[in-house]
């Protein structure tokens, strides 16, 4: 079928990745977006996006886009793009259940000549080793004879209004040269920044997974340096600003490393490495450092409280921010929960305030009930965990007013000058 002009596209999964993709394709092609969450379909049909990635007016521009929660509605499509998440389980092992479920759904409606494209981040080889056999089993069709596959990894940056789907260069690949050309031509229709066609699906998978692994290792280095500089009595941000005066110094900052990419993708790569008998050291060392930052932050705050003769048990702690990054409602794999749990282990009383989050989602995902507003003069310690613009706009005096006299104010994200807070990373 390799003619992009005849594409009828089905998008499987309408989250942070799938919806922007569906909207762009829906401006040019007959496109049907599938999500198993009926409430999500209802809100999109009503013209709103709770992830805040797509504005209502942009949704309206996708004249050929429709939504459904019924997989059977996709039968008229001939291109299926899977955008479901690939999380890790509690043991940091890849959890392929969303991808297996989506592949099963697509396999049951796959027809001769169809193309299945995956955007989910996985280890090199996963598309052809995990997903394609499911497509074959469910459809009864033969791979690269009756149907074809492609891989084009997502590069969405939640909350980023500058780097959007269409302005980020897209990696593409296909299971045969003809399929690769078709996938590349299809994405070129909507990606104004252009595409980069990889020589194979495995190369494209590897390219994606190391993008975030590289960032994870670099942030781990800066986190370790922050711990060192704290012991030396040196302000980390001041050091980084000084080093940043050289043109090729990389501008990473310390902090909590969460989200659905940086804190997850390295585990896919290390899983595959160990499966083939290679034991990665640097990647896992970076993961250990970054996964321990929540406990380290609490240790720093507890030390400051002890220096002021403040008991941690039954102390009232305010954590400002719950999302994994600033100015977006995304709670996926947020490591702020590590800070919450660590304080609860000290038997402190913890309030979480975040004007961006959906309280029902926070309760469902983490058992956390965010407060509507923090009470002035109520807290023994305040931790600025996420750099939401609302917190910066509050100013240091209003933040201080939330605490009791002598309360500890710890700034994880360098929102305020070092001289105005009691501690920073």
Give the catalytic positions in this structure: 261
**Helix ranges (DSSP H) in 308-405:** 336-345, 359-366, 389-401
How many whole angstroms from its chain centre is CA 113? 33
Q: In Å, what is the CA distance from 217 to each residue of 66, 280, 282?
A: 41, 12, 7
By C-alpha distance, which of 4, 30, 425, 416 is closest to 184? 4
CB atoms under 10 Å from CB of 117, counted, come to: 25
**Rounded Cα distance, 318 and 327, in Å:** 19
Lookup: tokens for 281: 């050291």
Residue 91 backbone phi and psi in degrees, to 5? -100, 15
DSSP structure class, residue 238: H
Handedness of CA 241, 389, 411, 413 (dihedral sign): negative
**Rounded Cα distance, 198 and 421, in Å:** 48
Q: In Å, what is the CA distance from 246 to each residue of 222, 241, 249, 251, 312?
A: 17, 10, 6, 10, 42
Lookup: tokens for 72: 């059977």
DSSP structure class, residue 64: T
Length of the chain as a residue count: 425
Q: Is residue 423 within 8 Å of residue 411, measured between CB atoms?
A: yes
CB atoms under 10 Å from CB of 236, counted, come to: 22
Residue indicated by tokens 């099963």: 104
Q: Is residue 99 within 8 Å of residue 82, measured between CB atoms?
A: yes
């Amino acid at each position: 079928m390799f003619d992009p002009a005849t594409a009828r596209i089905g998008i499987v999964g309408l989250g942070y990745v799938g919806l922007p993709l569906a909207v762009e394709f829906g401006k040019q092609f007959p496109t049907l977006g599938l999500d198993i969450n009926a409430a999500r379909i209802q809100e999109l049909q009503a013209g709103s996006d709770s992830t805040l990635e797509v504005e209502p007016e942009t949704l309206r521009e996708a004249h050929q886009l429709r939504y459904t929660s019924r997989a059977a509605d996709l039968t008229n499509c001939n291109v299926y793009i899977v955008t479901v998440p690939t999380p890790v389980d509690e043991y940091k092992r890849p959890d392929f259940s969303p991808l297996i479920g989506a592949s099963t759904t697509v396999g049951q409606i796959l027809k001769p000549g169809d193309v299945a494209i995956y955007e989910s981040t996985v280890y090199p080889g996963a598309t052809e080793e995990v997903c394609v056999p499911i497509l074959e089993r469910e459809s009864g069709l033969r791979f690269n004879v009756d149907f074809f596959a492609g891989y084009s990894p997502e590069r969405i940056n939640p909350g980023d209004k500058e780097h959007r789907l269409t302005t980020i260069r897209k990696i593409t690949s296909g299971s045969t040269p003809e399929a690769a050309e078709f996938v590349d031509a299809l994405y070129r229709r909507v990606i104004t920044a252009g595409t980069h066609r990889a020589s194979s699906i495995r190369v494209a998978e590897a390219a994606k997974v190391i993008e975030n692994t590289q960032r994870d290792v670099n942030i781990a280095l800066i986190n370790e340096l922050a711990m060192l500089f704290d012991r030396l009595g040196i302000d980390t941000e001041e050091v980084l600003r000084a080093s940043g005066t050289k043109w090729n110094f990389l501008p990473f900052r310390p902090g909590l490393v969460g989200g659905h990419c940086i804190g997850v993708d390295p585990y896919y790569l290390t899983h595959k490495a160990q499966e083939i008998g290679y034991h990665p050291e640097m990647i896992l060392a970076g993961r250990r450092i970054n996964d321990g930052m929540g406990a380290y932050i609490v240790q720093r705050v507890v030390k400051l409280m002890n220096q002021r003769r403040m008991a941690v048990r039954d102390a009232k702690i305010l954590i400002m921010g719950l999302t994994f990054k600033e100015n977006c409602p995304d709670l996926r794999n947020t490591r702020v929960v590590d800070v919450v749990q660590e304080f609860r282990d000290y038997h402190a009383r913890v309030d979480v305030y975040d004007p961006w989050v959906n309280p029902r989602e926070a309760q469902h995902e983490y058992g956390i009930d965010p407060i509507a507003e923090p009470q002035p003069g109520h807290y023994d310690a305040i931790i600025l965990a996420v750099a939401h613009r609302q917190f910066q706009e509050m100013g240091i005096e209003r933040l201080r007013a939330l605490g009791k006299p002598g309360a500890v104010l710890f700034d994880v994200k360098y929102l305020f000058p070092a001289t105005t807070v009691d501690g920073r990373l």
